[in-house]
Amino acid sequence: MSHLTDKARAPYRGETGGLPGPDSLEAIVAENPTRRTLLRNGLFGLSVIPAMALAACDDDGEPIVTVPPTPTPAPTPTPTPPPSFVASFAAVAANQEDRVTVPEGYSVDVLLKAGDSVEAGTPYAGSFPASPAVAEKWAGGNHDGMEYFALPNVDANTRGLLAMNYEYPDFNILMAGSYDAATASADQKAIALSAVGIGVVEIAKGSDGKWTVQSGSTYNRRYTGNSSYRAGGPAAGLLSGSIKGMLNNCSSGRTPWNTYLTCEETMDNYLDPTQPETNYGWVVEIDPLRELAQPTKRTAMGRFNHENVAFMASADRRVAFYMGDDTTPGCIYKFVPDRAYSDTNRAANTDLLDYGTLYVARFNGDGTGEWRALVVGENGLTAGAQDPGNVSQSTTPPAPTTVDFNNQADVLMNCQRAARVAGGTVMDRPEWLTVAPDNKAIFCTLTNNSGRRVTDPANPRIRNLHGHILKFSEEGNSPLATKFSWEIFLTAGDPTLAAGGSNLVGDIEGDTFSSPDGLRIDPQGRMWVQTDHSVPGNSGLDGTTIDQAFGHNAMFYVDQQNKQSKRFLVGPLGCEITGLAYTPDLTTFFVNIQHPTGDWPVAGEAPRSSTIVVRRTDNQPVGN
């Protein structure tokens, strides 16, 4: 979550809180003592020797064989070795420079900036948009989660679709002064809402290796805070028939049938508070190819401050979707559709996310865990249920409140309260989740919770300034499991902060970091962690800023066995590093730089959130 988002939505929130030739004839004649007989009688069953080979006889009257010279065979080409995916890059140092720093041998190109054209129109060129209609075609602001999709019958390593989230407007390129939803004009609201949602762009790699947006592509499309959306699932009847906009599109995910899942990390429309709150806080499914249903808010997946979605699929095409509620504190959820998905007919999956069971995670003190169904009539979800409230932020427990769950729509609409009633564990801002390619582990970043006052085994630090990463494994590695085991994978922090308390140190081996946020395990099983410590921020040690302790927000490779961390990329001034997508061969990484504040990406121009392309100059896979 961008700190800008958190600040902007605070006045409108209800419940809030603080990432594979010996067989030649000469050789036989030279080595076989019975070679004359072999040759006379036929070599390996060949009864005819060419006449040109019988030139004379020896003293015994036997023919002397003159073998014509065998042509020298062409050298056997040396096979091209398979690419290495060992993370052998030289780690970059922490720094506070106003640029993107990557290892030697890598390049960085800016692909798409806030205000660039997605759909045909006039892009930002130093002046505010003349009208909402102009801004509606621009790339939005605060680029966040994204996914890369293949096009039919096209080499995805050279061309494809990039779908990306826009969490919050880059107001500095939209309008003068600050934005106040209470006093904003209709045009100002429309311009602000144009800068959230998502964008889909067709991109391609040129002969020079650089990627560019393909202007004029029929796939290029903006879905904004002004667009119309429908709702599906059990709570659809409680939403507007035609919903205006989606916003606070933080991170994202995808389905096995290659649709895009964009997550609303807000439960109200703080840019236009006149809209019903119930229309927001959902996972929205969008087909980048525009073959399936119109963009749909999937209410069966629950209403809360969605961060991202990661799926686990089994060989029989059953699937679970894992989600975090980026709230201080929030719970971890998974949604299991009632039926298997089709891998041969995309259209058969159109309503798959409208029918299924939503679960909340409970982390027990002995390293076991369970998924508790959020189903009306189960786990205390009845009329008159008692919500224990936020039990982590004060040593004095809050007074329970009554909540009525009369039907499944009530459960989904009031998901956070239902999760607590059912006994879900409230976590330290669960953000991204990622699933290992072999299904043997799921990881979740718990970014921080400086306001925690009551600990539990899964959240062991009070005033958790720097966060931690949790690892859990489903029973039988099955997406349908209702039990799991868990452990704390690592705690963030730095030893130089020890004077401020043991909670600030952490146990990271190698390059340290604070506030893990973006998280993804790539198809080769390599874990990438992106950070979001607040800028400026509190390191926990008087006289040391968070940037002085850790440098700018960055992206790290973390070995899952020895937990060794290596800093791969450092961002420019004031930014958060977020969003990660890649081509199938992993030679191209797409990364988002959110809300920079200095002189980046274009010197002398207003800073703008941007998507960058990171490649090795020798075209080998990123990271090796």
Query: How far, CA to CA in Å, does 86 sit from each of 56, 174, 512, 586, 590?
Result: 63, 43, 20, 12, 19
Given a cut of 50, whether residue 44 has pLDDT beyond it is: no
* Per-residue pLDDT band at 68 (split at 50, 70, 90): low
Structure tokens at 288: 């980048």
* Per-residue pLDDT band at 383 (split at 50, 70, 90): very high
List, in order, residues 6 or more apart from 436 with CB less than 8 Å away.
442, 443, 521, 525, 560
Q: Is 255:343 a contact under the CB 8 Å cutoff?
A: no
pLDDT tens readout for residues 524-551: 999 999 999 998 889 999 999 999 999 9
pLDDT tens readout for residues 466-507: 999 999 999 999 999 999 999 999 999 999 999 999 999 999
Three-state SS at 48: coil
Rounded distance between C-alpha atoms, residue 450 and residue 279, angstroms = 30
Instruction: Provide the H-helix boundaries in 21-65.
Output: 25-31, 35-41
Query: How far, CA to CA in Å, does 304 sit from each of 253, 354, 418, 442?
Result: 16, 17, 11, 21
Rounded distance between C-alpha atoms, residue 204 and residue 157, angstroms = 9
* Per-residue pLDDT band at 2 (split at 50, 70, 90): confident
Q: How many residues does the chain have?
A: 624
List, in order, residues 6 or more apart from 472 with CB less than 8 Å away.
361, 369, 441, 442, 444, 484, 485, 486, 487
Considering the chain, what percentage of its residues have pLDDT values greater than 70?
90
pLDDT tens readout for residues 114-171: 999 999 999 999 999 999 999 999 999 999 999 999 999 999 999 999 999 999 999 9
* Per-residue pLDDT band at 14 (split at 50, 70, 90): low
Neighbours of 90 (CB within 10 A): 9
pLDDT tens readout for residues 185-216: 999 999 999 999 999 999 999 999 999 999 99
pTM: 0.89
* Per-residue pLDDT band at 20 (split at 50, 70, 90): very low
Query: How far, CA to CA in Å, does 513 sit from each of 19, 93, 134?
Result: 15, 12, 40
Structure tokens at 483: 């039990």
Neighbours of 575 (CB within 10 A): 26
- Taking residues 174-178, what's their average pLDDT? 96
pLDDT tens readout for residues 238-296: 999 999 999 999 999 999 999 999 999 999 999 999 999 999 999 999 999 999 999 99
pLDDT tens readout for residues 399-437: 999 999 999 999 999 999 999 999 999 999 999 999 999
Query: How far, CA to CA in Å, does 85 sit from each of 20, 148, 285, 525, 568?
Result: 7, 20, 32, 9, 14
